[in-house]
Amino acid sequence: MSVRKYDKGERRFKHVGSGDLPEFEVEDDNPKKIIGKCPRTISEQERDRLLQIAVAAINPDREISVPSKLYSVHQGTIYEAQTSDHGETYHAYPFRGKLAASILQQLRDLADKEGCREAFEKFVKTNITRHG
């Protein structure tokens, strides 16, 4: 596996929170659209490390050989990283939504390695719907 690169984006502030904890914001005009916002306290080194240990989701687009989505765990919170440039770089944010049982198990194992299993289970209970 090659080294994954993170791209915050020059003027990308949509996924940046205001505090030390991850946040979820609901858009006023679309209550089904939830935006995950990263804590301001994640260092570049930690962000890059989390990207390297991330779990790859099955890629539905067979046109590219790299995963379009990656998932990682930081202090119990699940983060989703997406690529918009065919795997050259990824951008991540706290995730809330549906995840396959197989990905959840891999993330549970990662939470064990990261020493945050209890916080992970609490996060999953309130933010994740299992499927598959």
Q: What is the mean pLDDT of the chain?
A: 85
Which bin fits 56, alpha (ψ -120 to 50), beta or left (φ > 0)?
A: beta
Q: Pick the residue with more confidence: 30 or 79?
A: 79
Assign 87 a pLDDT band (cuts: 50, 70, 90). confident
Token readout for 38 is 């990263």
The rounded percent of the chain whose pLDDT value lies above 70 is: 87
Beta strands (DSSP E) in the chain are: 23-27, 30-37, 55-56, 69-74, 77-82, 91-94, 97-100, 128-131
